[in-house]
Amino acid sequence: MIVWVNGAFGSGKTTLVDELRPRWPEALVYDPEMVGFVLREIVEVPTGDFQDLRLWRRQVADLAVGLIEEYRRPVLVPMTVVNPGYVGEIFGALKYAGIDLHHFFLKVSREVLEKRIDGRIFFPDDPEREEQVRRWVKDRIEPCMAAVDTLPGDTVFLDGELTPPELADQVLARIGVGSER
C-alpha cells in the first residue's frame, strides 16, 4: 500500500508524514525529491524542475514498487505532483503494478501557504539563493491550487489547516489502520 500525501509547498505534507510515522511504525517513508536530487547530479534539468524529466517519473514509480515488493511494507510518500500528465503517469504505473494507492491532497489557503513558506529557511548562508527558492516555491502555489480540479477522482481532500494529529487520524481512519497514539 502507498499513501501519497500531495499538496502545495507549505501545505504540511512532510509534517503529516512525520505525524503518521510513529503511529504506523511498519510504514517506510519515501521522498521522491531525493530521486530528483540524484538526477540533478547526473544530468542537466533544462526546465529547472526535475519532475519534467521522464526518467524522474519512471524512477519514482519503479522505486515505490520496488520498496513494496522487496520489503512488503506500506510506503508513505510526501510529494507535490500536480501536472495531470505526470500524476497519470506515476499513479498509472503504481496501479498497473497492483499497488493499493491512497492519494491525499492537503488543501490550504494561499495566505497560510505564503505565511508558512515565509517562515522557512531554505539556505541560511546564501541569501540570494534563499530568495530564489522562496520565489520559486511561491510561484507554484497557483498551479497547485488550480490542479485540485484535475486530480484523480479517488483523491481524498483534507483541510491542511487542521492540526497534524487531526489529519493523521483522518488518514489512518480512511485507510483502515489503527490510530492509537
Q: Which domains does the chain have, with CATH numbers?
A: 2-172 (3.40.50.300)
Q: How far, in Å, CA of 27 to CA of 126, rounded?
A: 35
Q: What confidence score (pLDDT) does residue 20 get? A: 98
Say if CB 30 and CB 73 are below 8 A apart. Answer: no
Q: pLDDT tens digit string along 44-69? A: 999 989 999 999 999 999 999 999 99
Confidence of residue 100 (pLDDT cuts 50, 70, 90): very high
3-state secondary structure of 2: strand
Q: How far, in Å, CA of 38 to CA of 115, rounded?
A: 30
Strands 28-29, 2-7: parallel, antiparallel or unpaired by DSSP? unpaired
Q: What confidence score (pLDDT) does residue 121 get? A: 85
Confidence of residue 181 (pLDDT cuts 50, 70, 90): very low
